[in-house]
Structure 1
């Protein structure tokens, strides 16, 4: 290792005396208490199960604890989901929990002026002062009839989330609980929902697949189920054909049999061309899809087909799809649009047909999270329907959910203010231009990034108090400059965070949050390898400094303070509804509450259930194992029982048709008007089938000739690992990236035309702003496209993550360049798909 920031690392060696943000508390967990203690491997320790939250894989892991210190991480040997593996992100957690730049004690702002580069002048305060200040501000809102002007912003979460996110917000009297979900997902759920009724991420049967198409997803790098994919990729390569569809050569692309370097945002054209070949050449899986009644294939170039001649088995509307969209969409047509050669499109389509039904088309956010992404998502996922692979051997499938207790009802604890709160939300979901059709319901989803505009516009309401946890929207949201303005406008903001982040710098109170994996009571549910899991987070070490658990301990402490002020509904809810399932005892303090709540949610797993899978005799036994495994997901479980309007796999989406009609009726317009204001090109019947839509682009090709795309790192822990030296040192494991640096990757032919060479500094400009960055030439980037790996550019979060804390970023934050826009049918933030045009100039 060639550590370059030696000054920091020397300081880290004396970490017990390092202070952060003016707080002088020692890092006692790292002080040497016994001079005879042996190093790791010589002194007996203990492997304790918990869960990694480095990404949304949420892998069951184990942490080796020696003398009260976490020193090593590995996959949980009892987990059938990840087979005892974990990826690099799990190991980075060790540097996060012992990071000397963590928030150590509660802090309050002393500089009333708020801005991106304003020093908050935080000073340490006691927990009592912090909680009293929070409770006073909350009660002021309630007493003034303004409880609905409180908002809770949730970032990454566990499944104890509703304690603070939903129950606390609603009992207090606000509907404004806003999830981060649409910042990182949603559009790759909308395609599967409007075709097969599944609003969720899919599992993939890698053990049996014969043809794997990774489309805008890199399962070895940043998509869900990373450890499982890493574990199985060798046998997949031995057995199957692997195809990578991506504008850049990803990790999976470097291993693939076929790389299809599609132009950003043109994925829908490629998908419908593949579908055209499959139908025209009779390659669809007839047992699932159905067939012509006389067995004669009528799908011919340019010709419409009589719907009455085809009989579907588990599908609906295939002939309509052909007639409306597919009949003219040849590979030759697609080549002109996508840049992918027609002969390769034919080859891949025929390969998929030959392997059906053991085909897995792995749809990822790279192909779906753009302004017209829902239709790309539908077109790509529809290929799983043609192959008969959905819920079938070797294909994509739903999950088995573990047995667990749901969050208790709040009805008994709601007073008049709580019951009569306005039901509109600050992210404007359900507005005409923001359908956010989660599970087909108008406004059922979330438009996270638009909450900043809602605050700035005071529409539908003014916001007077924000509580955020495990979130950093100024950094993770596109055009985060809007969040700076929005948070500067809010009179009182509280942030629960492990680090003073960009969001924290606008807070009036910052509370030290426990680090997930190592210091928290909570639980998660996830899936991979056809196994559903319920997995435990438990404190493997004592919380460091004065950290408290964001989703349980802190809301309980706030509830106590509210009770002192005469509003005891929340505290009564916590104490009455979250008793210890073993003893029936009510929690008397925040630490008991955190453990009892976790035991409550998980009780069906360790008290007995009838869902199959693992069986435990006691809470203590479950704590030692740390994970519940389901039986394997049964193939063809949902065939004929899809949660669509027809209960079939819908190539003509009656489900979307109904959802759009209801949203249009709600606003007294027709469906075409909805599509117009939400920036889709489809009209009439085309709106209800998977189809190609030309990408919506910011910046003309003449003024902004290159297309910018966002890339993900194997070492990016939800945007939170930039302050880890290991993350910076090992960045080279991501193709084309460099240690302790941030680069703009560009095709050598493009660089030659601009007179650029490796290492040159350039100014990259979009319609939003400009940034400076170093060029790195790579043949793994298709011409006309440039990309940068997300995760750098912090102006806060610690001295490694930021070049000058509070002043200057180390590298470039991609989101600063991107306009704030959305795939409005899902609510998803647009960050992919070629919607950002850029100009590049040598500095």
Structure 2
């Protein structure tokens, strides 16, 4: 008898015969128990909490009946998502009741590590697990090697300060390493080095008259997805929408125009649009300024005297023209980016007609390149020309969200904790400026950890603790992570809801509470012209023997440290987290957790000033409503006060110039040398303006003639939903994809030339390796490019996601195909921009 993967998984789920690592469970967790009423037939209650399906962190509510979570909706009290949520939020129900979850603490009994190697985990008690971890950590500390411990943070809540910051620093390690540069950071450089905003942007969808979506699909991924879904129909009626992306996505399928740019050539397209805007006198003069005599001197190929132009809210528009733009015509760009010159002219002109009500929505596809900082700056600079930065209908920063910050740690740091040790990720070295917020060495270079640790530069690492992370799957050049763990003696602790690839290299595994449904925390963000603070709270009793990763576990470790003579961390937790209402010190980890959430959110729920936002009145009311909303956005509040060196929107970036000069001085070289080592093309003054840099590519066009495009699914709930049957069943909601498959989308003309049928198998090869894949014809992919959604290819993530748990995947992980490299100015992992050349062959 033959049985398909789809039917096998459905049968397995129905039977409930799915085993987790070390433990099994039977029964369908979502079905009503015997004798109970069906969903909707019994009384229930909507309980407020938050989704972590993307970094919007939407306020949601979950309907609970008989102690079970049965339904999800957006929180109607939210002014940012207006009671809406996207498909990711609904996957929460399958995630929390997934029988493949880790259920009890476990320890490794097989010292050998590697893919396909059985860790031979055995269940242990929480006490044994915590004692083992505390012993290892205190041994390092007592040996003067506290800095050889690292904390690896994946997705997080704002309670992360208790484990990521406080615990790591008080213990004495500099190595609190975030995941953030794996999935972002480069796009922040576009707004920071032009307008001083090191952050994601909000967009005024209510008033925009032209939306230019660049390198993302806001209906599926990135940020503010629920609100965008709600607003998109109205936007299409009111505004012109143009999408720049090499593949057709949900947004471009609905948009008025789609510009299928050649991957990596975003900068060429952007500077050509800027050229049109300036030569045709279309810039927004109330923001940028004008020539003193009103005569436009921006003529193709001609240099302009700087003293003839009087700027208002901007800096260096004439320098930018002279250094970069004067020769960058649409005809020049067409040959590089593949977008017809006529379309470039039309888009620039239509956008200018709508100014300043223009939303230039910059996404990672236009930024996470090896030379991505300059692509990001080039795209975001269009917001400056349109006068749409911080303006009605344009791109926005965010309103202040009331809350307390992390308390001062100075009084809890002993001599070990005060030692100055370099971070393990090599930030601040010549090859890794990592200039978050313009400060050299302040960014994170997460995906460089395997190389740095294997090279033992600046030193070796002996112990790590990671939570909500799975770097051997999520980092490009994923094979390096496996090699690092297999060949280096790193005692690793993994706090996780599900056993994953990283878990298989761990020595201790701790079952973590599922964020949305089982733990206390809070999150803060912005969207729809409002800032917000949103609560996470247990809507059900924990399904298994789990603990909250960011609060309960560090508190329990602090107690273990104290038993071993190191009391500083426990002193901090006990002294600083008394109940803000009663003054009572926490009696245990659960009281500590609630006290901490109350402390950090108190300024919001206790706010009495309507001018700052909601007046909620009490902690109990905050738990009920679930979200505090700020006052609405104040347009033009940053005009003249941008956090740049000039306090203006910088086309000539004095802010980037200062940062690069500082990094060069730190490393005793000049700026040109920095750019050379970091693999940028700019030299001299070009380094300080948005400009075109050619794509950096692995694999020659002769040997690897296609370009691989990695994109995100609207069902990737922070990459943790692949073990959900709902994810597999509804995968077809992504344009060009298929249910229960992980397909390589290929233009039919390309596939047919190679003799590959629709649904046929092919070999795909990059400089990193060769893999088998199923091909699906998709007219919505630019010829010469192929695309596959990130999220599948697990060899360890449950019975739905992996073919043979711990050993074999159904398909390949995109990050095994994509080589590891970086936009080094920010430290961001490069995964777009024409980086990955591939060869396709019929299998």
TM range (shorter): over 0.9
- In 2, the alpha carbon distance for the partners of 1:125 and 1:411 equals 36
Deviation at residue 23 of structure 1 after TM alignment: 2.1
Partner residue in 1 for 2:726: 726
Residue 229 (structure 2) pairs with residue 230 (structure 1): yes
Residue 605 (structure 2) pairs with residue 606 (structure 1): yes
- In 1, the alpha carbon distance for the partners of 2:31 and 2:303 equals 76
Which of residues 439, 462, 484 is equivalent to 2:437?
A: 439
Map Cα deviations across residues 27-68 of structure 1 (whole Å, 9 max, x no partner).
Answer: 8987977x5432211110000000000111210000000010
Partner residue in 2 for 1:204: 203
Q: 1:439-518 counterparts in 2 under 5 A?
A: 439-488=437-486, 489-518=488-517
Partner residue in 1 for 2:256: 257
- In 1, the alpha carbon distance for the partners of 2:768 and 2:211 equals 38
Runs of 4+ in 1 over 3 A off after TM superposition: 2-15, 24-33
- Please say if residues 203 and 395 of structure 2, whose CA atoms lie closer than 8 Å, have aligned partners that are also in contact: yes
Partner residue in 2 for 1:40: 39
- Please say if residues 205 and 235 of structure 2, whose CA atoms lie closer than 8 Å, have aligned partners that are also in contact: yes
Partner residue in 1 for 2:344: 345
Pairwise CA RMSD: 1.4
Partner residue in 1 for 2:292: 293
Deviation at residue 263 of structure 1 after TM alignment: 0.2
Residue 673 (structure 2) pairs with residue 699 (structure 1): no
Partner residue in 2 for 1:325: 324
- In 2, the alpha carbon distance for the partners of 1:138 and 1:735 equals 48
Using a 3 Å threshold, how does the CA distance of structure 1 residues 24 and 794 change in structure 2: closer, same or farther?
closer
Deviation at residue 6 of structure 1 after TM alignment: 3.7
Partner residue in 1 for 2:632: 632
Using a 3 Å threshold, how does the CA distance of structure 1 residues 29 and 609 change in structure 2: closer, same or farther?
farther
Secondary structure of 1:622's partner? Answer: helix
Deviation at residue 11 of structure 1 after TM alignment: 3.9
Partner residue in 1 for 2:64: 65
- Please say if residues 27 and 545 of structure 1, whose CA atoms lie closer than 8 Å, have aligned partners that are also in contact: no
Using a 3 Å threshold, how does the CA distance of structure 1 residues 32 and 295 change in structure 2: closer, same or farther?
closer
Residue 777 (structure 2) pairs with residue 814 (structure 1): no
- In 2, the alpha carbon distance for the partners of 1:455 and 1:116 equals 19
- In 1, the alpha carbon distance for the partners of 2:799 and 2:483 equals 24
- In 2, the alpha carbon distance for the partners of 1:55 and 1:506 equals 26
Map Cα deviations across residues 340-377 of structure 1 (whole Å, 9 max, x no partner).
Answer: 00000000000011000000010000110010000000
Residue 270 (structure 2) pairs with residue 271 (structure 1): yes
- Please say if residues 191 and 375 of structure 1, whose CA atoms lie closer than 8 Å, have aligned partners that are also in contact: yes
- In 1, the alpha carbon distance for the partners of 2:753 and 2:295 equals 53
- The more displaced of 562-571 and 323-332 is 562-571
Partner residue in 1 for 2:642: 642
- The more displaced of 654-663 and 744-753 is 744-753
Deviation at residue 753 of structure 1 after TM alignment: 1.8
Partner residue in 2 for 1:425: 423
Partner residue in 1 for 2:749: 749
Using a 3 Å threshold, how does the CA distance of structure 1 residues 56 and 36 change in structure 2: closer, same or farther?
same
Map Cα deviations across residues 62-96 of structure 1 (whole Å, 9 max, x no partner).
Answer: 00000100000000000000010000000001000
Deviation at residue 609 of structure 1 after TM alignment: 5.3
Secondary structure of 1:62's partner? Answer: strand
Partner residue in 2 for 1:652: 652
- In 1, the alpha carbon distance for the partners of 2:770 and 2:556 equals 44
- In 2, the alpha carbon distance for the partners of 1:18 and 1:276 equals 59
Deviation at residue 22 of structure 1 after TM alignment: 2.3
Q: 1:11-90 counterparts in 2 under 5 A?
A: 11-13=12-14, 15=16, 19-23=19-23, 35-90=34-89
- Please say if residues 26 and 545 of structure 1, whose CA atoms lie closer than 8 Å, have aligned partners that are also in contact: no
- Please say if residues 269 and 333 of structure 2, whose CA atoms lie closer than 8 Å, have aligned partners that are also in contact: yes
Map Cα deviations across residues 663-715 of structure 1 (whole Å, 9 max, x no partner).
Answer: 00000000000000000000000000000000111111111111111011110
Q: 1:47-446 counterparts in 2 under 5 A?
A: 47-422=46-421, 424-446=422-444
Residue 663 (structure 2) pairs with residue 687 (structure 1): no
- The more displaced of 190-199 and 770-779 is 770-779
- In 1, the alpha carbon distance for the partners of 2:650 and 2:4 equals 54
- Please say if residues 180 and 471 of structure 1, whose CA atoms lie closer than 8 Å, have aligned partners that are also in contact: yes
- In 1, the alpha carbon distance for the partners of 2:507 and 2:567 equals 25
- In 1, the alpha carbon distance for the partners of 2:66 and 2:410 equals 46
Deviation at residue 491 of structure 1 after TM alignment: 2.9
Partner residue in 1 for 2:763: 763
Secondary structure of 1:165's partner? Answer: helix
Deviation at residue 412 of structure 1 after TM alignment: 1.0
- Please say if residues 28 and 544 of structure 1, whose CA atoms lie closer than 8 Å, have aligned partners that are also in contact: no
Map Cα deviations across residues 263-296 of structure 1 (whole Å, 9 max, x no partner).
Answer: 0000000000000000000000000000001111
Using a 3 Å threshold, how does the CA distance of structure 1 residues 759 and 27 change in structure 2: closer, same or farther?
closer
Map Cα deviations across residues 449-490 of structure 1 (whole Å, 9 max, x no partner).
Answer: 001111111111110000000000000000111111222213
- In 1, the alpha carbon distance for the partners of 2:19 and 2:674 equals 54
- Provide the TM-score with structure 1 as the length reference: 0.98
Secondary structure of 2:516's partner? Answer: coil
Secondary structure of 2:632's partner? Answer: coil
- In 2, the alpha carbon distance for the partners of 1:609 and 1:615 equals 5
Using a 3 Å threshold, how does the CA distance of structure 1 residues 239 and 36 change in structure 2: closer, same or farther?
same
Using a 3 Å threshold, how does the CA distance of structure 1 residues 32 and 716 change in structure 2: closer, same or farther?
closer
Residue 620 (structure 2) pairs with residue 620 (structure 1): yes
- Please say if residues 195 and 382 of structure 1, whose CA atoms lie closer than 8 Å, have aligned partners that are also in contact: yes
Secondary structure of 1:47's partner? Answer: strand
Deviation at residue 616 of structure 1 after TM alignment: 1.4
Deviation at residue 408 of structure 1 after TM alignment: 1.1
- Please say if residues 400 and 531 of structure 2, whose CA atoms lie closer than 8 Å, have aligned partners that are also in contact: yes
Using a 3 Å threshold, how does the CA distance of structure 1 residues 728 and 597 change in structure 2: closer, same or farther?
same
- In 2, the alpha carbon distance for the partners of 1:11 and 1:578 equals 46
Aligned residues: 839
Using a 3 Å threshold, how does the CA distance of structure 1 residues 362 and 343 change in structure 2: closer, same or farther?
same
- Please say if residues 15 and 27 of structure 2, whose CA atoms lie closer than 8 Å, have aligned partners that are also in contact: no
- In 1, the alpha carbon distance for the partners of 2:578 and 2:759 equals 60
Using a 3 Å threshold, how does the CA distance of structure 1 residues 3 and 769 change in structure 2: closer, same or farther?
closer
- Please say if residues 173 and 421 of structure 1, whose CA atoms lie closer than 8 Å, have aligned partners that are also in contact: no
Partner residue in 1 for 2:826: 826
Using a 3 Å threshold, how does the CA distance of structure 1 residues 252 and 29 change in structure 2: closer, same or farther?
closer
Residue 802 (structure 2) pairs with residue 802 (structure 1): yes
- The more displaced of 411-420 and 326-335 is 411-420
Structure 2: state its 5+ residue gaps.
Answer: none
Secondary structure of 2:241's partner? Answer: strand
- Please say if residues 12 and 100 of structure 1, whose CA atoms lie closer than 8 Å, have aligned partners that are also in contact: no
- In 1, the alpha carbon distance for the partners of 2:167 and 2:485 equals 21
Map Cα deviations across residues 576-597 of structure 1 (whole Å, 9 max, x no partner).
Answer: 1111111111111111111111
Secondary structure of 1:137's partner? Answer: helix
- Please say if residues 578 and 584 of structure 2, whose CA atoms lie closer than 8 Å, have aligned partners that are also in contact: yes
- The more displaced of 806-815 and 471-480 is 806-815
- In 2, the alpha carbon distance for the partners of 1:80 and 1:158 equals 20
Deviation at residue 608 of structure 1 after TM alignment: 2.3
